[in-house]
A and B are shown apart, each in its own frame.
Chain A
Amino acid sequence: MNAKEIIARRVAKELKDGDVINLGIGLPTMVANYIPEDIDVLFQSENGFVGLGPAPEIGHEDKDLVNAGGQPVTAVLGAAFFDSAVSFGIIRGGHVSATVLGALQVDEKGNLANWMVPGKMVPGMGGAMDLVVGAKKVIISMTHTAKGKSKILKKCTLPLTAAGQVNMIVTEMGVMEVTDAGIVLTEMNPEFSVEDIKKVTEAELIIADDLKKMEI
């Protein structure tokens, strides 16, 4: 199983029956493939609906039905459409149970940087700043390092998406929770040791007393 699949499978276990979930583009989108069959989860698409379904079969695309990346999608039975003010009212108003996003950097204070690299990449924040501020739970799903460099830092160096909003970080190495005391490693992929993880994590890692095996 590759790193991305491990991460997506573990994030899927965080979702509960009745949740309204917003998934970011890329790795977070994969989470939808692993939702347990016995729970009912509604996906929100910030361009204006809840009830986001999988990609359509080729030849069955509907030009009026795309996701926030502009790609053709489907809507499930019971889907509901709205304008962008309502869509972000849902997001900012705390009506989204959790948002799953990727990150360039996360730090010990729960700060997140994922929207720009000055001088290199300035795509715009889109809906990310609102999602991170408004969702009840912010789950970062990302590979533990980028080209061997730590992405979990003492302090973010890139421009922030939001300050102090991250609740949980899921990587292929383990699961971390952001607490007032710092980042706590609560689950570990048995393929790695605590030392392995510490070696590639710049932030101070607090090891939970009841450190568990990462369930995927």
Chain B
Amino acid sequence: MNKIVTLEMAMEHIKDGMTVMIGGFMACGTPEKFMDALVEKGVKDLTVIANDAGFPDRGIGKLVVNKQVKRLVTSHVGLNPEVGKQMNTGEIDCELIPQGTLAERIRAGGNGLGGILTPTGVGTIVEEGKQKIELDGKVYLLEKPLRADIALVGATISDKKGNLYYNKATRNFNPLIATAADLVIIGAEKIVEVGEIDGNDVMTPALFVDYIVEV
């Protein structure tokens, strides 16, 4: 089964109104070519689930500046002032989630869990509308799983089957979102023959991967 496709072919799967998870942390590990391609394609009304809103000119920020994001589910938007502006004008709906909770909700979504219990956010506005559960004298919030239609993953190396390796700090949310979407598309800096990444070094097994684009 050939998973390697062109950038254009990969982007055809992303349609108006879809929920898209995007990897990266302040644009480090974000598949930047996918961001540029989405801006060019002009797909709109997206719900984006990602760690942060990047910078106005880097990472997910480009989609926000181009007003393609209707809803943003994220932990931090402070380095992209455009999000604040669009929140004030009502153009974007932004749900802020503690970073560790966001990671665990995505992990739960990809790992068949009905939710997770975390002490993070207890006693703050994060607990509003959520079920609180007391276990052995400690209070936790029940946080539900997150899933998406598409995951856009940035990898340093992919083999031809889609076994992935992430260099240094590019790993962040990438292996998590690769488990939690109906269709998983990889933007790999380099594609190598199967076997060139030793099985011990594979960080995301190919079974999670649908398409690979060399970017």
Using a CB–CB cutoff of 8 Å, the interface residues on chain A facing chain B are 45-49, 62-66, 68-70, 75, 81-85, 87-88, 91-92, 111, 122-130, 133-134, 159-164
Among residues of A, the one whose C-beta sits closest to the C-beta of B53 is A124
Q: Which A residues are CB-close (under 8 A) to B96?
A: 122, 124-125
Total B residues in contact with A, Cβ cutoff 8 Å: 46
Q: Are A129 and B120 in contact (CB under 8 A)?
A: yes
Q: Mark B115-159, 1 if CB is under 8 A from A, else 0.
A: 000111111111000000000000000000000000000001000
Q: Which 10 A-B pairs have the closest CB atoms?
A: A123-B78, A70-B26, A163-B123, A88-B100, A130-B100, A124-B76, A129-B98, A126-B76, A84-B103, A127-B99
Residues of A within 8 A of B156 (CB): 64
Enumerate B156-178 residues with CB–CB distance to A below 8 Å. Answer: 156, 167-176
Chain A residues with CB below 8 A from B27, complex form: 70
Partner of B99, one of A46, A81, A83, A122: A46
The count of A-to-B residue pairs whose CB atoms sit within 8 angstroms is: 141
Secondary structure type dominating chain B contacts: mixed
**Taking CB as reference atom, which chain A residue is nearest B79?**
A70
Q: Hey, which bits of chain B sit against chain A, CB under 8 A?
A: 25-29, 51-52, 55, 74-79, 84, 87, 96, 98-104, 107, 118-126, 156, 167-176, 203
Q: With contacts A64-B29, A70-B55, A83-B103 known, what are 13 further pairs, Cβ within 8 A? A: A48-B169, A64-B169, A66-B26, A75-B168, A82-B171, A83-B172, A83-B176, A92-B119, A124-B76, A124-B96, A126-B78, A133-B122, A159-B125
Residue pair B25, A70 in contact (C-beta under 8 Å): yes
B120 close to A130 (CB less than 8 A): yes
Q: What is the bound-complex CA distance between A84 and B125, given in angstroms? A: 23
Query: Which residue of chain A has its CB nearest to the CB of B99?
Result: A127
Q: Give every chain B residue within 8 A of A69 (Cβ-Cβ).
A: 26, 79
Are A91 and B169 in contact, CB atoms less than 8 angstroms apart? Answer: no
Given contacts A68-B25, A84-B173, A122-B84, contact A92 B100 (CB under 8 A): yes
Which residue of chain B lies nearest to A113 when distances are taken between CB atoms in the complex?
A: B124
B42 to chain A, nearest CB (A): 27
A83 touching B171, Cβ below 8 Å: yes
Q: How far is the CA of A47 from the CA of B84 in the complex (A)?
A: 23
Q: Which of A63, A124, A130 has the most CB of B within 10 A?
A: A124
